Amino acid sequence: MAKTKIKICGLRRMQDIEYANMLMPDYIGFILAEGFARSITAEDAVEFSGKLDSRIKRVGVFVNQPEEMAAEYVKRGIVQYIQLHGSEDNTYICRLRQKAGKGCNIIKAAKIKDAGDIEEAMAYKCDYLLLDAGSGVQAGGNGITFDWKLVKNINKPFFLAGGICAGNAREAVEITRPYAVDASSSMETDGFKDFNKMKEFIDVVRSL
């Protein structure tokens, strides 16, 4: 089995970029939708992406925003992956591909409460799925898990999100066999990324 990849989402300070450069997760996420706890500006995204180690893949997280806006981040080389965390459908995804052009990798997030949600998620015409908990105040980063035993027979690579931390990462990977695990709020102390939590989480996943 291929090694499970790691994504740390919600980086919003230069200090977070420094942590990432030291720990080298496979992916990091920038929240490029307004109004969320970890949102950053386009200017921040440009600055942070320029300082991030080029071996780490950059994901821009968007929530029900115009395709042109998301596509522009790819065209400018600020992000390489677009994560859709709202109600975007296959029509939106197809238009986004046309506007972003080659090199656009699309991750579609799906909130999972039951087996039916898994089935619906598999119909998305994305490159990767992101399976997250079907509850919580925000579009993501709520630190809530869902029943991982629901994850069966997924037809494309997927990121597993929702309350994953060093303490449960082994169980999550063993049950679901994801392409990648995605952590955000569980990597924080008092609302900010915590180097030690990030390191412990990454060390556990890399040991599997």
Tell me what the pLDDT averaged over the chain comes to.
Answer: 93
Q: What is the pTM of this model?
A: 0.93
Instruction: Express each pLDDT in 162-175 by its tens digit.
Output: 999 999 999 999 99
Give mean pLDDT, residues 62-76: 96
- What share of the chain has pLDDT > 70, as a percent? 95
DSSP alpha helix (H) spans, the chain? 14-23, 42-51, 67-75, 90-100, 115-121, 169-176, 195-207
Orientation angle between helical segments 67-75 and 90-100, nearest 10 degrees: 40
Q: How far apart are CA 99 and CA 104, in angstroms?
A: 9
Higher pLDDT, 60 or 101: 60
φ, ψ at 112 (rounded to 5°): -110, 120
> Which pLDDT does position 103 carry in this prediction?
79
Return the minimum-mean-pLDDT range out of 34-38, 129-133, 136-140. Answer: 136-140
